[in-house]
Amino acid sequence: MVDDIAEGRLDRDVVERARSGDQEAFADLVYQISDTLLGIARRIVRDPGLAEDVLQNALLTIWRKLPHLRDADRFEGWAFRILVHACYADAPRNRRWASTIRVLHTDVASQVDDIQMISDRDELERAFRQLPLDQRAVFVLHHHVGLPLVAVAETLGIPDGTARSRLHYATRALRAAFEQARATQELREGRLA
């Protein structure tokens, strides 16, 4: 992902022009990167509305601070870092109840499997929301964006070991929630049987 510029997804020239104050070039950048940033923010803060606020703040910070970016090839990772800091800044101030309603397709699996899936999903969601934001950030950048841990650490400006430990703690918490959901479901099925 951080190699997107080298791969041609983000035009280095566009980054350079935006860095020198070209608002049209920055608009191009926004159109190119906003979906990716929104996806990261949404997964970290777990609230679509808040994620949009975070994205707006992050994009404006990116615009203001672009002249500080030394290497245009590193734009995307740099933008990720600003976004994650925006998540840190905005999420605690905007903590609110959130609910997620999903529609399950009725023709894809057995009813028991659907119930299992819902149970797993809800437990994971709950567990994920209880993770500290810095653990969520590492988890999302690694599992959703697909960055190797070394790149996650570089993006967030933290040591490799810190990234690794945050991922470990996050995974451990989620796995515990997952296993709890499974155990509860098995118990329920046993009672029904």
Partner 1 sequence: MNDKRDFDRAVDRLLDDGSDTTPSHVIDAVLLAVRSTPQERHFRNLWRTQSMTMYLRVAAVIAIVAVAGVAALYAFGSGPNVGSGPTPTTQPTLTPPPTAVPPLLGPDPVSDERMTVIRQQVDAINASDANAFIDTFLPEGVFAPGGDFLEGLVRFGNSQPVADADLVEAWMAINRAWGFEAAIIACNQDPGARIAYGYGEGQGDPMVVNCEVATRWHSLSMEITERWSYEFHGSGLGHWGFQLLDLNPPDRALPLGYDGLEAWEAWLAATHPASAARYLNPRISEPPDYAREWWEAQAPGDPERAARLAPLLFSAENEWSIQGHEYAPFGLIPYDPAFADEIEASIQDYLVEVQL
Binding footprint of partner 1 on the chain (CB under 8 A): 21, 23, 26-27, 30-31, 34-36, 38-39, 42-43, 48, 52, 55-56, 59-61, 63-68, 85, 88-93, 100, 102, 117, 120-121, 124-125, 128, 132-134, 140, 143-144, 156-159, 162, 174-175, 178-179, 182
**CB of 121: closest distance to partner 1 in angstroms?**
6
What letter does residue 119 receive in the DSSP assignment?
A: H
Closer by beta carbon to partner 1, 4 or else 63: 63
Closer by beta carbon to partner 1, 26 or else 80: 26
Q: Which amino acid is at 187?
A: L
Closer by beta carbon to partner 1, 6 or else 94: 94
Q: Write down the residue that tokens 């970016």 correspond to.
A: 69
Terminal-residue alpha carbon distance, the chain: 48
Structure tokens at 132: 């500290």
Distance of CA 68 to the CA centre of its chain: 24
Residue 158: CA count within 13 A, CB half-sphere: 19
Distance (Å, whole) CA 120 – CA 154 = 32
The CB density around residue 68, as the number of other CB atoms within 10 Å, is: 8
Q: Which amino acid is at 149?
A: L
**CB of 76: closest distance to partner 1 in angstroms?**
15
- Answer yes or no: are the C-beta atoms of 77 and 154 closer than 8 Å: yes
Closer by beta carbon to partner 1, 12 or else 119: 119
**CB of 8: closest distance to partner 1 in angstroms?**
21
**CB of 188: closest distance to partner 1 in angstroms?**
17
Closer by beta carbon to partner 1, 31 or else 97: 31
**CB of 190: closest distance to partner 1 in angstroms?**
18
